[in-house]
Amino acid sequence: MLEAVRVTKHLAGTPALKGVDFLLERGQVHGLAGVDGAGKSTLVKVLTGVYQPDQGLLFHKGEPVRFKGTQDAQQRGISTVHQDARPAGALSVSASLFRGREPRNRLGLVCSRHMHQAASRLLESLGIFIDPRQELRSLSPDIQKMVAIARAVNTDARIVIMDEPASSLEPSDIDTLFDVIRGLHERDVAVIYVSHQLDELYQICNRITVLRDGEAVHTGLMSGISPAGLVAAMLGRRPDAVRRESLAAFTGKHEAARSSVLKAEKFFRHAHE
């Protein structure tokens, strides 16, 4: 569905991607992992036409392609949910979902009633129960993110790229997100799931590519690499060294518990002092 071959990209004179290979197949949920600054977002921007590669080739459905911009990529069926997705102005939820594809009547006017009804059906199918007539910017950030995901699904895209989609979601919304992704998989839609959270990757992805310092250092089946091996690839360390340490900081659930703010050792107190 989408392939990058030896892609290199410099940002402000610094190499952000160094000869990266990446292959996304039909119906695949392909994880893209790496610590902050590894090159994940840069690769996503190259794959969606935000950036042009300095070197290397892109292929879409086996044909060489050079996206002129994000709209060009969208017209080819590539939709993106960005980590920092923000609502556009004072649009209603339904207007946001159907922006540029609004249902119209015989006079060519937007049919708000049909648009609201279609928006309700779409949202409810994804487990999102809100009034589509309200302004998107009035909703909480987690609901805004779910609407952004619904908008991506609603474009009939064959490739959906999700950049840290669970970063601002509540646990119940993450479950809904994963149900949406499984539904896309069943429809043979290919998904790129960008995250550095191991628990998310192992729950939803069937293949993984790891970036480190702008290079693709590992790619393969998700079932073919252990959590310690995955962390080792992300950090450039030996798996046995990683196993000797806790992996909790990389699961996204227990990092706060590892951050000591007060510690006392060999502490005694005499009652009469």
E strand map for the chain: 2-11, 14-24, 29-33, 55-60, 63-65, 78-81, 159-163, 190-194, 207-212, 215-221
Has residue 20 got a pLDDT over 80? yes
142-197 pLDDT per residue, tens: 788 788 888 887 777 899 999 888 877 788 778 888 888 888 888 899 999 999 88
> For the whole model, what pTM was predicted?
0.80
Report domain extents, the chain. Answer: 2-85+151-258, 88-138
Tens-place pLDDT, residues 85-124: 555 567 888 888 887 777 787 777 778 888 898 889 888 8
Coil, strand or helix at 189: coil
What is 2-85+151-258's CATH number, 1.20.58.2240, 3.40.50.300, 3.30.360.10, 3.40.50.620? 3.40.50.300
pLDDT value for 273: 43
